Structures are given as structure tokens and as C-alpha cells.
Amino acid sequence: MAAIRAMLAAETRAATAASYNVPDPCNHVQTKGDKVRFKITVVGAGNVGATLTQRLAERNYADIVLVDIVEGLPQGKALDLLQAGPILGHDSVVTGSNGYEETAASDVVLITSGVARKPGMSRDDLVMTNAKIVASVARQVAEHSPDAVIVVVSNPLDAMAQVAKAVSGFPRERVIGMAGVLDTARFRTFIAQELDASVVDVAAYVLGGHGDTMVPLTSLTTVAGVPVEQLISKERLDAIVQRARDGGAEIVGLLKTGSAYYAPSAAAAQMTDAILLDTHQVLPCAVYLEGEYGINGLYTGVPARLGAGGLLGVVEVALSDSDREALHRSASSVQQLVDIMDARREDIDASMPPLSAATTAG
Ligand SMILES: NC(=O)c1ccc[n+]([C@@H]2O[C@H](COP(=O)([O-])OP(=O)(O)OC[C@H]3O[C@@H](n4cnc5c(N)ncnc54)[C@H](O)[C@@H]3O)[C@@H](O)[C@H]2O)c1
């Protein structure tokens, strides 16, 4: 029976992998003993976390544990997602939990927990609030899944990745931030709209920190292989760059409450594919730099090769002087947030649960 189940699961996985245009995980990844499915944990069952869980469940290559502090929320969403399986044809087991016991030995953990900035809350307050959340999550993840790759999604992204790395004690290969894939997707979308082209023909990279200071590399952006600077005037291109920079704020302005989650969850799922299916795809990610691009000891968005085990390497592209300057400006705004957290490190440490008692989310 177990053999039939494994065989059927493998067939479904191959079909699903083909429909997502990713390699069949069974042909690509060595399975360990009886283990035929990956295990993923998504922390935060809000808009991004729940949509991400849906996208990953539909890929049918992993069982997923959804964790949140709100009682009933992850359990309810997990059950709902599980019941979509028979209709969509996936066997991913989705479980909801308010603790970390069920997350044990996850291959990938995606951290989406956090709060949005509220009226009257300063940027520094937001950093500290989310730093405490991400620190407490990272500590429990490290205890229960010591070999996992952590993908951080919570904002402010680069600073939260810095917290997750420091608290988990994981090497930089296993703590990566998601922002560049999303920022690049926004840039690609607007270029495709401008030229009435297919989004798949637009190749681009957005580097630097997530948000206002990101650095779209227009000189390396092509449409079906043609440099975009030959296709779009500088004036229009500058306007597109600015719209991509403001991409998150534009959506917040329209939604009034909450922020983007369809594209962010798609971006985090693409990174998960690259890691679990060992694709070696180069994606723009927030990576802890150790001298690359002249930056040391700080998370910043750069092209990164992802595969089994997380970060396989940082790809260093030759930058123009102005792009290099912009990247360093972006990195220094990340450093400012890190300095705020360093100055109040005791607050963050005090908010973390002791390891031995770390059985519930918080
Ligand atoms: N990196 C990016 O490009 C990007 C894009 C979009 C959103 N984000 C960020 O992702 C995060 C989530 O966004 P969202 O729209 O899903 O927000 P949301 O408010 O819908 O969900 C956040 C969830 O986190 C949970 N949570 C809070 N503290 C927790 C804890 N200690 N443990 C477990 N769960 C906890 C909340 O209960 C809530 O369900 C935010 O920080 C947002 O700014 C980042």
C-alpha cells in the first residue's frame, strides 16, 4: 500500500511539476530513506502566509505546516486548503498550528509573520515590533528545524533577514530574504505593459534593499534579448522605475487596508521551488554579503543562485558607477535599521521565549 501511494504521489508530482514548468522533483532530488515528500513550514497565516501555503500545496511536492499566534486561524485555513485537494488533485497535507512541535524537521521555513505599520507608529517602532516577532520565530525554528533553509518575507525585509540570521545562528546559505523577485516582477510587468510584450520576454534585475532605495538595473534589462534602453525612452523608463519602486505603496493606496500578497506569495514560492527542486536558478534575493559588491556583514538584494541547501553563490555583475553608488546608498539605509535594532538589542532578547519553553508561537 505504501509503495502504491509513493508511486501515485510521484506521478502526481511529476504532472504538477510539468504544469509549473519546473523539474520533476523525483527525478531531480535524492530522497532520504522513506521520505518522499518535502516538509515546509509557513509562519504567519495572514494574507501572504495563507496565499503562499495555497500556492505551495497546489505544487503537490510537500506537506506544509501553517503557524500563527491567533488560535484557530492557521487550523481553519489549513483545513480549508486541505479540502481543496480533491478538487485540484493534490495530496499535500496542510496542517495548522499555534506551536512549533508539528514543524519539526522542516526543509524550508518561510517567515511571513509581522504587523503592518499602524497610524502613529514610527518606522523605528515598526522595526522593533517586527524584530521581536521575527526573533522569537527564528529561535523556535532553529530549535525545531536545525537544518532548514529560512526564507524571510516579513518587513522591513533586509533588516528582518539580519535578525533571523543572528538569532537562528544559521550560516548565510540558509537564511535568505524575499524582495528582489517581487520588485523585479513589478518592474517586468510595467515594461511588458509599456511595450505590449509578454512578461516572460522581459529579463531584468532589481538590486538593493526592498522599497524606496531599490536599484533596477536598466542597462541589463532586455526584452526578447533586445536592450530595453533601445526600446523605451529614458524619460518613460525613469517613470517605470519610479512606479516599480512605489509598487507596494500603490497597492496599499488602492486596498486601503492591508498590502500586496498575490505577487509576494508567488515570489516566495518561486524561491522555494529553486531551493527544494535544486534548480540553481539565479534570482534576486536579499543575501548576507561578505565583501561582494564591496558590502560586508549586511543583507542586501543581489543576484543569487539558489538550490539544495539554499544559497549556492552570489553572482557579481559589473555595475555602472551610478548603479554601484545607488546600491551602496540602499545598503546604508538597511544599516540604519540594523543600528536601531543593535541599540535596542536587549529589548529583542528579552522578548524571546526561553528555548526549553518554546513550544507555542509567540
Ligand atoms: N518581502 C516582501 O516583498 C513583502 C511583500 C509583502 C508583504 N511583506 C510583509 O510580510 C508580512 C506579512 O504580510 P501580510 O499581508 O500577510 O500581513 P497579515 O497581517 O495579513 O499577516 C500577518 C500574520 O502574522 C501573524 N503573526 C504575528 N505575530 C506572530 C508570531 N509571533 N508568530 C506567528 N504569527 C504571527 C498575525 O497573527 C497575522 O496572521 C508583513 O511584514 C509584510 O510587510 C513583505
For 230-253, write each residue's pLDDT tens digit: 999 999 999 999 999 989 889 988
Atom of ligand 1 nearest to the CA of 51: 16
Whose alpha carbon is nearest atom 24 of ligand 1? 113
Distance from the Cα of residue 234 to its chain's centroid: 31
Bridge partners of 40, per DSSP, are 64, 108
130 pLDDT more than 90: yes
Q: Among 67, 160, 259, which residue has the most ligand 1 atoms within 8 Å of its CB, making it the best to mutate?
A: 259
Return d(Cα 75, Cα 217) in angstroms, integer: 42
Active site residue 210: yes
Q: Which are the contacts of 39, defined by CB distance < 8 A and separation ≥ 6? A: 62, 63, 64, 65, 105, 106, 107
- pLDDT tens per residue, range 257-307: 888 999 999 999 999 999 999 999 999 999 999 999 999 999 999 999 999
- The rounded percent of the chain whose pLDDT value lies above 70 is 86
For 99, other C-beta atoms within 10 Å of its C-beta total 16
Identify the helix (H) or strand (E) that includes residue 63.
Answer: strand 62-67
261 CA from centroid of ligand 1 (Å): 10
Give backbone dihedrals phi and psi of 112, rounded to 5 degrees, phi first: -120, 10
Q: Is 156 close to ligand 1, i.e. is its CB under 6 Å away?
A: no
**What pLDDT, on the 0 to 100 scale, is given for residue 173?**
98
Closest by CA position to 54, among listed 87, 18, 25, 98? 87
Given this model, what pLDDT does residue 103 score?
Answer: 98
**Could you tell me if the CB of 96 is within 6 A of ligand 1?**
no
Q: What fold, for 180-339? A: L-2-Hydroxyisocaproate Dehydrogenase; Chain A, domain 2 (3.90.110)
Asked if 268 and 110 touch (Cβ cutoff 8 Å), the reply is yes
| Active-site choice (28, 90, 144, 210) | 210
Model pLDDT, residue 1: 44
Determine the 3-state secondary structure of 159 from DSSP. helix
Query: Going by C-beta distance under 8 Å and a sequence separation of 6 or more, which residues neighbour residue 260?
Result: 182, 247, 248, 251, 252
**Protein residue whose Cα sits closest to atom 11 of ligand 1:** 154
The residue assigned the cell 534575493 is: 285
In a mutational test of the pocket of ligand 1, which residue from 112, 270, 337 has the highest number of ligand atoms less than 8 Å from its CB?
Answer: 112
The answer, yes or no, to whether any atom of ligand 1 lies below 6 A from the CB of 285, is no
pLDDT averaged over every residue in the chain: 88
pLDDT tens, position by position, 99-109: 999 999 999 99
Q: Residues 222, 192: contact at Cβ < 8 Å? A: no
- 27 pLDDT more than 90: no
Task: Assign domain 2-177 one CATH number from 3.20.20.70, 1.20.1250.20, 3.40.50.720, 3.30.70.250.
Answer: 3.40.50.720
User: Do 2-177 and 180-339 show the same overall fold?
Assistant: no
Domain ranges for the chain: 2-177, 180-339
- Among the residue ranges 12-26, 132-146, 213-227, the one predicted with the least confidence is 12-26
Q: Which atom of ligand 1 is nearest to the CA of 67?
A: 33
